[in-house]
Amino acid sequence: MRPEGYDYDTHSRLAGPLTEPSGSAYRVQYTTLLSSEPRRIRAVLLMTLAPLLTGLLLVYLVWPTHWVEREGGARWLVGLDVAMLVSIGLIELFMLVNVVSIAHATMVARDPVPVTPQNGTRVAFLTTYVPGKEPLSMVRATLEGAVRITHTGPLDVWLLDEGDDIRAKALCEELGVRHFTRHGVPAWNRDKGVHKTRTKHGNYNAWIAMHGGAYDYFASVDTDHVPHPDFLARTMGYFRDPDVAFVVGPQVYGNYTTPVTKAAESQQFLFHALIQRAGNRYRAPMFVGTNNVVRIEAVKQIGGLYDSITEDMATGFELHRSRNPGTGHHWRSVYTPDVLAVGEGPASWTDFFTQQMRWSRGTYETLFKQYWKAPFSMPPGRLFSYTLMLVYYPMTAVNWLLGILSCVLFLWCGASGTQVSASMWLMLYSDAAALQVGLYLWNRRHNVSPHEPEGSGGLAGMAMSALSAPIYLRSLGAALVRRPSRFVVTPKGDGTSPDRLLTFRVHLFWAAVLTASLAASFVLDHTHAAMRTWAFLALAVCLAPPAVWAATRNRVRRVDRRVVPTVRIAEAEPAPALAGRAGATVPGGSLPAGTVSSSTTGGS
């Protein structure tokens, strides 16, 4: 069920009221976010000054007259100085690209104008089930939501069951849902390719091969997502445009209870509230697998959903490179800000890190395997938009590595790539940082989350992005050495993965490197306030996740210690004394608020 107290109905209509299409040849129409902003001058200043000052800081730091020159210094130390200079330049360059990306998205972001669906379209609503990995109660909630969906044509709800589970079959029969399984069919369970076994895309492609010809479109949500009754009413109208291949919506987490889940949803703010809307400018927002509607003809044209650990992004990339044979135009996509399904996010650090590993690894696979084809088959604007999206993970990963490298080179060896005035550096850096944060906060007014309070700054999301950098670096290393990746079903409901100290091994490794480097700087007298400050900040980033985990665990233990004696006393009392007490027949029934398991989610 959905959590109480959140205005989902209003957030399901963020794009505006449904309208009737005009003209004989319909094309999706859009409204820019800036057009409805009464203080556009402030936004334009932020969009202009933030990249400008960030670029000025880059030029100032790497200006040739600021390079370190060592008279008679050892060659190895000169080499380290060069490495420091290159690291500083790349760090600032990546920061500039990130700011340009946000400024560009702010300028071009737009929402589609919703239109009523065409009558008579044949739609299949799909969701998957992996027995043993996903609770059947969650599947029930998703299917119950699906059968309430309204549509102006034939609509069948399907469960794509990976295990041919007898309980799943009984549930489908009870709810009037159709059941499909590829279990036991060798042709649909290959080691690789579009029918790869134990993968989401393999499951969907098997269904398309068997039943796709009976429908025009399939709508789908992840197993943990409960769809809104207007799911199709708010998305199907865009398919009046013959070149629209798919429509996607934002991802929000209904289990908005744990600190990890709240921060994880906040982390996605920029992508769902801004970057995807900017994709509308080029008719190419990214395919998101959590909730979408797809034109079956288009996905068949490219051979089915793409074989990737993140099949959604890889499939969308292939579609955006392809043309509609009926019109000769490139396939398009639409992102609607309407919240039309509420799902479940990671509730533990283990599951969050696993999610981030999978998302980043999928991006690297797209860059290595697919991106090189894009310049020959994708329009320039669309290629530019995709490039800004795809470089986020590798830039964040390399930035983390270069930042640690710079700290280590100075704190251990005294290397210094550039010598600048501390006051000038502080002025430029603080001004650039203030403008970047200002641009971020200004865009918070476009947040699509129904959970985050209005006016919140999204600090938890910014912190979560910083905490993820070491994970992105680990994922990049695995991709470079071609370590095999496998599709992992994110645990849901009561199956949330427990956190252990080993969960934070990547962060603790970098914490050890930074701690040793800081200690060495005091012994070797390599003193520089800025470098030590950066080292301490990076150390705080590394220690924050295990610290939050430890604090949360200790708080739970304290609550448990207060509860257990009460239960034992109740159990020790004679039965006649208990009989006259309200609720005494349920031991522990009067537990303090907050002791209920946090695995109870809005998606189940």
Which token pair is 114?
A: 């919703």
Of 35-39, 123-127, 279-283, minimum mean pLDDT range? 35-39
- Count CA within 13 A, CB hemisphere, residue 570: 19
**Three-state SS at 167:** helix
DSSP character for 36? G
- pLDDT at 589 > cutoff 60: no
Phi, psi of 180 (to 5 degrees): -135, 140
State the pLDDT at residue 496: 81
| Mean pLDDT, residues 404-425 | 90
What percent of the chain lies above the pLDDT cut of 70? 90
Please give the single-letter amino acid code of residue 111.
D
Supply the angle between the helices 75-108 and 392-413 in degrees, to the nearest 10.
Answer: 150
| Dist CA 88 CA 17 (whole Å) | 49
**Three-state SS at 364:** helix
- CA-atom Rg of the chain in angstroms: 27
Question: Quick check: 349 and 504 in contact, CB under 8 A?
Answer: yes
**Three-state SS at 153:** coil
Percent helix, strand and coil across the chain, each rounded to 5? Answer: 55, 10, 35
Which token pair is 261?
A: 């889940």
State the pLDDT at residue 487: 63
Question: Quick check: 586 and 238 in contact, CB under 8 A?
Answer: no
| Dist CA 194 CA 305 (whole Å) | 7
State the pLDDT at residue 579: 34
- pLDDT at 345 > cutoff 60: yes
- pLDDT at 594 > cutoff 60: no
Q: Count the neighbouring beta carbons within 10 Å of the beta carbon of residue 97.
A: 16
Q: What is the CATH number of domain 8-32+115-364?
A: 3.90.550.10
| Mean pLDDT, residues 306-320 | 97
Question: Quick check: 452 and 273 in contact, CB under 8 A?
Answer: no
Residue 290 Cα distances to 306, 343, 470, angstroms:
16, 8, 25
- pLDDT at 2 > cutoff 80: no
432-441: b (≥16 Cβ within 10 Å) or e? beebbeebbe
| Mean pLDDT, residues 352-375 | 96
**Three-state SS at 558:** helix
Cα dihedral 257, 263, 266, 267 sign:
negative
State the pLDDT at residue 453: 87
State the pLDDT at residue 201: 97
State the pLDDT at residue 190: 96
Question: Quick check: 220 and 295 in contact, CB under 8 A?
Answer: no
- pLDDT at 119 > cutoff 60: yes
Question: Quick check: 164 and 132 in contact, CB under 8 A?
Answer: no
| Dist CA 252 CA 295 (whole Å) | 24
State the pLDDT at residue 573: 41
Give 173's contacts (C-beta < 8 A, 6+ positions apart).
179
Per-residue confidence band for 403, with pLDDT thresholds at 50, 70 and 90 = very high
Please give the mean pLDDT across all residues of the chain: 90
Q: Which helix (H) or strand (E) holds 23?
A: none
Of 269-278, 434-443, 450-459, 565-574, minimum mean pLDDT range? 565-574
State the pLDDT at residue 521: 95
| Mean pLDDT, residues 385-404 | 97
User: pLDDT tens-digit profile of 51-64?
Assistant: 999 999 999 999 99
Position with higher pLDDT, 541 vs 581: 541
Q: Which helix (H) or strand (E) holds 217?
A: strand 217-221
| Mean pLDDT, residues 581-590 | 30
Name residue 19's beta-bridge partners: 115
Question: Quick check: 593 and 559 in contact, CB under 8 A?
Answer: no
- pLDDT at 218 > cutoff 90: yes
State the pLDDT at residue 588: 30
Q: What is the strand order of the sheet 332-335 is part of?
A: 178-180, 155-161, 123-129, 217-221, 291-295, 244-248, 332-335
Of 416, 386, 375, 353, the residue nearest 69 (C-alpha): 416
What percent of the chain lies above the pLDDT cut of 90? 79
Phi, psi of 457 (to 5 degrees): -85, -10
Alpha helices in 525-583 (DSSP H): 529-572, 575-579
Which token pair is 336?
A: 């609607």
Which token pair is 193?
A: 């390719």
Distance of CA 350 to the CA centre of its chain: 15
**Three-state SS at 295:** strand
Of 143, 134, 138, the residue nearest 162 (C-alpha): 134
| Dist CA 342 CA 82 (whole Å) | 50
State the pLDDT at residue 570: 44
- pLDDT at 567 > cutoff 60: no
| Dist CA 448 CA 269 (whole Å) | 8
> Cβ-count burial of 76 within 10 angstroms (0-12 exposed, 13-18 middle, 19+ buried)?
exposed
